[in-house]
Amino acid sequence: MTNSARTTTAANPHLPKKPAGTLPKLLGSLGALTAIVVVLLMLFVLPSLKSGPHDLATGTVGDAQTTGALNANLEAVAPGAFVPETFADEAALRDAILDRSVNGGYVVEGDTVRLLTATAGSAAISGSLTQTTTAAAGAAGLTVTVEDLVPYTADDPSGIGIGGLAFPLVFGGIVPAVVAMKLFPGRLKMQLVSAGSFAVVGGVVVTSILRFWFGSFEGSILLPAAALGLGIAAISVPLLGLQALFGGKGFTALAASMMFLGNPLAGIGTSGAWLPSGLGLFGQLLPPGSTGTLMRSAAYFDGKGATGAVIILAAWVVAGIALCVVGARRQKAVDEAELVILDAELEASLATSDVV
């Protein structure tokens, strides 16, 4: 450094200094951002890339020899895709499909195989079952006819309405919690009332749009509205609880988990059973996945097959309320402690003034 430079620096100590470690910071940030992009890519793309039929429950009706041969052909065409269960008659198989106990099944009558499906349960599964059964029956010289017991509606033949709920659901669970905290800071009860009210209103409004505008399902909106409302509450209430107990860090952690784990692993468009087994199960334990299952049951199957999803979502709501209670008690204890300190300081101040 020249004498003039030293003089300038000494004379102007407030001049900005050259940042130290610029290159390491740049390289570190690039590495971290790249890792985040890779993780997001894995979370959003890998589940779909590795999805497919695996251990899907199906039903069979017919004589043991023919159904056994057909099951063997199914295994040869799609190894590990289906797990067949024998039913006494067609009525029992139909009931099992409508109860969502099995994904579909076939009835063998002579040289004909009647395949029973439920596209509204999962178009991907029904399509795979149809394709595989047709190939397996063809290899055995049998003819296949298909009956869709629970099809999508004519207005929404691809099931896009309910299948596209994942992101709106997550968004609809996070934003009401944020709004409630902004409107009622420090008033946890009012925050819960606000979030709960939106869950009810949001459930009714969204399902009304799906029913009367998009035509995604038929019949009453009561069960689907209740299902969606419960799903929204299962996200917003725990967020309020974590905020009350752990502050912004707790809120952010759960919100990010819902967005970047719950969203891609929900399987709302295909069903959780279509995702890779471990990821599908994990996704169903999160509110978006359980809500998707519950919505399909409520909209297309009269609420059947929804018990597990209801239990999971209710558990999230109860856990959120419990977190709110604990957080409120902790805050009350902190406030009381601060009040004691203030009283002590005030008494000390008064005592000092008396002495003076």
Domain ranges of the chain: 56-148, 160-337
* SS3 label, residue 105: strand
* SS3 label, residue 297: helix
* SS3 label, residue 12: coil
Closest by CA to 301, choosing from 182, 204, 217, 206, is: 217
How many Cβ atoms from other residues are within 10 Å of residue 96's Cβ?
20
CB neighbour list of residue 283: distance below 8 Å, 6 or more residues apart: 47, 261, 262, 265, 266, 267, 272, 275, 289
pTM of the model: 0.85
What number of CA atoms fall less than 13 Å from residue 192's CA on the CB side? 18
Q: Is-contact 74 49, C-beta < 8 A? A: no
Residues 213-244 pLDDT 10s? 999 999 999 999 999 999 999 999 999 999 99
pLDDT in tens, the chain (356 residues): 455 445 444 455 555 555 557 888 888 888 888 888 888 888 788 787 888 899 999 999 999 998 999 999 999 999 999 999 999 999 999 999 999 999 999 999 988 999 999 999 999 999 999 999 999 999 888 999 999 999 999 999 999 999 999 999 999 999 999 999 999 998 999 999 999 999 999 999 999 999 999 999 999 999 999 999 999 999 999 999 999 999 999 999 999 999 999 999 999 988 899 998 888 999 999 999 999 999 999 999 999 999 999 999 999 999 999 999 998 888 665 555 656 666 666 666 666 665 55
| pLDDT in the model for residue 235 | 98
State the Cα–Cα distance between residues 70 and 109, nearest whole angstrom. Answer: 13
Sheet holding 112-117, edge to edge: 82-86, 56-61, 104-109, 112-117, 143-148
Q: Is-contact 106 51, C-beta < 8 A? A: no
Supply the Cα-derived Rg of the chain in whole angstroms: 29
280-318 residues labelled b (16+ CB within 10 A) or e (exposed): bebbbebbbbbbbbbbbbbbbbebebbeebbebbeebbe
| pLDDT in the model for residue 28 | 84
| pLDDT in the model for residue 323 | 96
Strands (E), the chain: 56-61, 82-86, 104-109, 112-117, 143-148
| pLDDT in the model for residue 21 | 72
State the Cα–Cα distance between residues 119 and 189, nearest whole angstrom. Answer: 43
State the Cα–Cα distance between residues 211 and 299, nearest whole angstrom. Answer: 9
State the Cα–Cα distance between residues 207 and 269, nearest whole angstrom. Answer: 16
Q: Is-contact 87 67, C-beta < 8 A? A: no
State the Cα–Cα distance between residues 149 and 134, nearest whole angstrom. Answer: 18
| pLDDT in the model for residue 20 | 59
